[in-house]
Structure 1
């Protein structure tokens, strides 16, 4: 019987202490092999049917991780484009409540509309700041800059009390933090971070009634019968969230399919326990060095003020982290070990 450790060892062999999943996750060996095969299919002129099938298999896997019916999942290219669909659905003058300094892809499409009232408050005050007339709350489940986790249950209750819709970005959480996408009106996640896929895919979860979204980007793949809809206007849009699909990056979705399979095999609960144990080990070690991370309890992302400038030194020493707004950001995932944490602490200690 394969264990968590044996599964991980079979898929990953990083050459350094890679502690930067919040920027990009590592590709599993099975995903790399699948990408090579996809390229070979294209290069040989073979039918691309298996690659289109991978899009649907990836969609179904994401639906299982998100805990929603597959009919609610749209396949797109980026969080920003999916946010744009949500932003376009709002009437002029609608109020959108956001968290201060959230990731740009969650925020900017609402600002570029030009006719929405976008209000930003500290993350910790988000739920209490929902008020009558707030049309939508948009927030990341886990903050990119420092790993703080939004109080989503409180937000959900506040939104329900005021008839406010919710849009949650799970990009920094999906893969290590359990998702309950069905508890919100809209959720989104890119797949190249904690879900370990290639760049170029993002899943949008919509309500069963589509939540007023218009299929602004609909092409032939958004039709109920795509291969019968290649010419002229689409006669019938897909009856599912697939009506919001854009033409898929086939290689990417092939990779995503296999990466999501690994997450499912390992189990999000086991990944979460592994990741948080390493993050807590780093937090404890920082204390012995006289440093204090920004508060982000229960997060796999740890951000340390004042140390971001050491990112280059750490990289030269074989430790990959990120410099975000002057803070050193370390993010811990399933392929990391206690030795990686200790190596990071050793370099910081000089």
Structure 2
């Protein structure tokens, strides 16, 4: 068996065996250092720092490269739920939104609560087959948070195109380790505080499809546009603004500290490469699955995923936590998530502790 050492070198030296990236990622040392410097700077230059727009500009460009989409189609924000509410508000009255059963609440709840939107949920495996002529939008996560199942994105995309439906893809559990193309979908959102190793408050929204191709009329209404969404930011502080010609018209005033660190974290992901991280993460997950099988344990099927969720052993969480293993329980499943800073030794330690 090939042994796998952590990626990232000296960027990580956690005091724990950290297997909880599906909840939140570890902050690289370079990002933590930049964050400390920004906090010190704020004591003299205010909480917007000396360069409020530099870090989000660099972060936006890095995210665009990672998801293979033009930077002009990427907006920055604060949370997936806010972006889901924005997408819901862009739909016509009575629109049907199709989503997988049990998908993450920040994705689906804004559709369920929006007046005039009809949310219909079906099993993930049936999603493509359930798209119908009356479906206005298909909303789904690329990777399911609960158990790591990877959606058949090609099938969903093709079914949506056949029936004239738009698509909304949440990449929060995939971006950073799973190769993805944002241009294949109409709306793509990502909470970057998990696999992209950014602080909370770092979220991206990308616009694929025909958005932005035909001038202002090709964009949805910029319903939450504030001063940072203006074409000329220096002239956008007061009154009704002229919206930016790009997806920046959908920007929220960003959390400065979050994006200072995000710039460095995304640079690290780029340096290592998503393909390399994908191979590393999935090899560790497969090693863990093999170890579980040797012990007569069967995780939820999620081929090719870096997330492994297993029934019947959730009560081990307290013992694992006491031993310094950071892991989570979701829906009665013990959920392990393997990322670039993990190693074969981490997997072996988890398996040994499960032996009790």
Relative to the length of structure 2, the TM-score reads 0.95
Q: Secondary structure at the match of 1:138?
A: strand
Quote the Cα distance in structure 1 between the aligned partners of 2:10 and 2:276. Answer: 17
Equivalent residues, number = 346
Query: Which residue in the other structure is 1:213 paired with?
Result: 220
Residue pair 2:5, 2:342 contacting (<8 A) in 1 also: no
Query: Which residue in the other structure is 1:39 paired with?
Result: 39
Query: Which residue in the other structure is 1:315 paired with?
Result: 321
Query: Which residue in the other structure is 1:329 paired with?
Result: 335
Say whether 1:290 aligns with 2:296: yes
Among candidates 271, 274, 299, match of residue 268 of structure 1: 274
Residue pair 2:6, 2:341 contacting (<8 A) in 1 also: no
Query: Which residue in the other structure is 1:72 paired with?
Result: 73
Residue pair 1:225, 1:238 contacting (<8 A) in 2 also: yes
Q: Secondary structure at the match of 2:309?
A: strand
Say whether 1:233 aligns with 2:237: no
Relative to the length of structure 1, the TM-score reads 0.96
Deviation at 1:34, TM superposition (A): 0.6
Q: Deviations over 1:23-56 (max 9, x none)?
A: 0000000000110111121112278343421110
The correspondence of residues 1-350 of structure 1 with structure 2, limited to 5 A, is 8-45=8-45, 48-206=49-207, 207-209=211-213, 212-234=219-241, 236-350=242-356
Q: Secondary structure at the match of 2:148?
A: coil
Deviation at 1:340, TM superposition (A): 0.5
Quote the Cα distance in structure 1 between the aligned partners of 2:267 and 2:311. Answer: 36
Quote the Cα distance in structure 2 between the aligned partners of 1:135 and 1:212. Answer: 16
Which stretches in structure 2 are left out of the alignment for 5+ residues? none
Q: Deviations over 1:258-294 (max 9, x none)?
A: 0000000000000000000100000000011110000
Q: Runs of 4+ in structure 1 displaced over 3 angstroms?
A: 4-7, 209-212
Residue pair 1:141, 1:150 contacting (<8 A) in 2 also: yes
With 225-234 and 192-201 compared, the bigger mean Cα shift is at 225-234
RMSD value, Cα: 1.4
Quote the Cα distance in structure 2 between the aligned partners of 1:155 and 1:7. Answer: 33
With 309-318 and 189-198 compared, the bigger mean Cα shift is at 309-318
Change in 2 beyond 3 A, CA 1:260/1:5: farther
Deviation at 1:21, TM superposition (A): 0.1
Quote the Cα distance in structure 1 between the aligned partners of 2:8 and 2:45. Answer: 34
Which stretches in structure 1 are left out of the alignment for 5+ residues? none
Residue pair 2:128, 2:159 contacting (<8 A) in 1 also: yes
Change in 2 beyond 3 A, CA 1:272/1:6: closer
Residue pair 1:156, 1:183 contacting (<8 A) in 2 also: yes
Residue pair 2:5, 2:344 contacting (<8 A) in 1 also: no
Quote the Cα distance in structure 2 between the aligned partners of 1:222 and 1:272. Answer: 35
